[in-house]
Amino acid sequence: MRWQQIGALLVFVTLASLDNAAAGVLPPLYAIIARDLNTNDAALGMVTAVYVLIVAIAAIGWGYRGDRGQRKHILLWGTLIWGCGMVASGLATTFWRLLLWQGVTAVGVGSISSVGFSVISDLIPVHRRGLALSLWSLAQTLGGAFGALLASTVGAANWRWPFFIIATLGFLFALLYLFTPEPARGQAEPELAPLFARGQRYAARIEWVHLRHLLAQGSNRLLLLQSFFMALAYGSTIWIPRWAIARVEAEGFGLETATVVGNLFVTLFGLGLFFSIPAGHLGDRWQQRRADGRVYLAMIGLLGAIPFFILLYFIPLHGIAIPANAAIWDMAWAVLSSLFRNGWVALGFLVAVIGLALYSFDQPNWAATITAVNLPEHRGTIIGISRLARALGSAFSVGLAGALFTKLGGTAVPPLNYAIGLALFQAFVIPAIICYGFARKTVPADVEQVRQTLRRYVGTAV
């Protein structure tokens, strides 16, 4: 890969992380914002649910527009929109204003998720796409973790500042779009290499009539359904910061301290997601050996992760020691050192890392697979549609989880209600795995169909 490609990849990956940081700010601050705006956790959970739905709907529109024209300008305007929405969210003084401006933020964020994905698929050769998309996926996860960490540290003192900080970073990095070249559509496809060698361009663009074909294709339908079930299972994990805070509160700490310490534990336990990089690379290797390699690998990972996640939710955090009136950095050091001094924390860390390492096989290999079964001019749109499928699952999951935690709270004292509820949602991983099982039969034929279509285009181009 040339340095120019690497630089462009870094720009898009960084911006993908920032838009997820924007999404990750609100959940850790539910309790504090609810107190300040005179509302409750469930209402703020609905803000997140609406946010996710708007991102998905906007992603389809942005993705379709990007598949028809220049993508760099769309990404620039999308970033400016979500940055302004974040600033206004930080200035909100009522629940309804917060809801409004988070909706505006979501409109802008939708452009990154679909158009950015399309750009990445044109930057990276097919045999390295799993690795590149693992970086894309990891950046989004780390962005969400950064937003959550910023919220739980800076936001514990003033919940508005994290919104302003992330917006500022978004504006600064948006300037890099002006200096980043947009890759030619289809340039990474080996079947199109003769076309570009002749100095020609791949001119095919999506049309409205193509949407029916996208939704009729077997692999697309199975991968979209799999995405829905995965969101249904893991959308509830947006409540994990609340679970961690309740764990710390159960040890006798106040809400402000528990907000910081609980989210520090979430960040520490989330290190297993770095395994998505070798997972993407391994997917590239398996795909070269067997036509269903990526799908098969993702199935193994998801099935293996289930028992570890269930166990994690019930591991207590007994014996954690946080100095009285400690500064943020002192709390961070206390949490980190507890990994070596507290057996419960060490056990939780080990279980979380293994569970997340197995879970991380899914996203980069799912993304590389849906790229392979769709033409270059269809990828932004299909990712936008997948965001809608994922958003519907996430919105239902977040809302159902909030209601379930409340109902369980009548008989199971927090954090036990959160542990039981989060564990129950693992049941939805099973139909996601079943979807992959059927996709193993359709993906090879659909990949070959895409290759044949590109070869025909090269043969008829003049």
Confidence (pLDDT) at 84: 94
Confidence (pLDDT) at 96: 92
Confidence (pLDDT) at 462: 60
Confidence (pLDDT) at 124: 81
How far is residue 50's CA from residue 29's CA, in Å, rounded to a whole number?
17
What would be the CATH architecture of the domain defined by 3-198+208-460?
Up-down Bundle (1.20)
Whether the per-residue pLDDT at 171 is higher than 80: the answer is: yes
Higher per-residue confidence, 9 vs 108: 108
The share of the chain scoring above pLDDT 90, in percent, equals 40
Whether the per-residue pLDDT at 330 is higher than 80: the answer is: yes
Q: How confident is the model at residue 14 (pLDDT cuts 50, 70, 90)?
A: confident
Confidence (pLDDT) at 323: 84
The share of the chain scoring above pLDDT 70, in percent, equals 98
Higher per-residue confidence, 144 vs 281: 281
Confidence (pLDDT) at 431: 97
Whether the per-residue pLDDT at 11 is higher than 70: the answer is: yes
Q: Residue range 302-313: average pLDDT?
A: 96
- pLDDT tens by residue, 177-192: 777 777 888 888 989 9
Q: Residue range 353-377: average pLDDT?
A: 93
Task: Give the 3-state secondary structure of the chain.
Answer: CCHHHHHHHHHHHHHHHHHHHHHHCCHHHHHHHHHHCCCCHHHHHHHHHHHHHHHHHHHHHHHHHHHHCCCHHHHHHHHHHHHHHHHHHHCCCCHHHHHHHHHHHHHHHHHHHHHHHHHHHHHCCHHHHHHHHHHHHHHHHHHHHHHHHHHHHHHHHCCCHHHHHHHHHHHHHHHHHHHCCCCCCCCCCHHHHHHHHCCCCCCCCCCCCHHHHHHHCHHHHHHHHHHHHHHHHHHHHHHHHHHHHHHHHCCCCCHHHHHHHHHHHHHHHHHHHHHHHHHHHHHHHHHHHCCCHHHHHHHHHHHHHHHHHHHHHHCCCCCCCCCCCCCHHHHHHHHHHHHHHCHHHHHHHHHHHHHHHHHCCHHHHHHHHHHHCCCHHHHHHHHHHHHHHHHHHHHHHHHHHHHHHHHHCCCCCCCHHHHHHHHHHHHHHHHHHHHHHHHHHHHHHHHHHHHHHHHHHHHHCC
Whether the per-residue pLDDT at 312 is higher than 60: the answer is: yes
Confidence (pLDDT) at 2: 65
Confidence (pLDDT) at 298: 95
Whether the per-residue pLDDT at 122 is higher than 90: the answer is: no
Q: Residue range 270-288: average pLDDT?
A: 87
Q: How confident is the model at residue 277 (pLDDT cuts 50, 70, 90)?
A: confident
Whether the per-residue pLDDT at 461 is higher than 80: the answer is: no
Q: Residue range 332-353: average pLDDT?
A: 93
Q: How confident is the model at residue 218 (pLDDT cuts 50, 70, 90)?
A: very high
* Domain locations in the chain as residue ranges: 3-198+208-460
Query: Taking each helix axis from N to C terminus, what angle separates 3-24 and 95-111, rounded to the nearest 10 degrees?
Result: 160
Q: Report the chain's mean pLDDT, rounded to a whole number.
A: 88
Confidence (pLDDT) at 25: 86
- pLDDT tens by residue, 246-261: 899 988 888 878 888 8
Higher per-residue confidence, 10 vs 349: 349
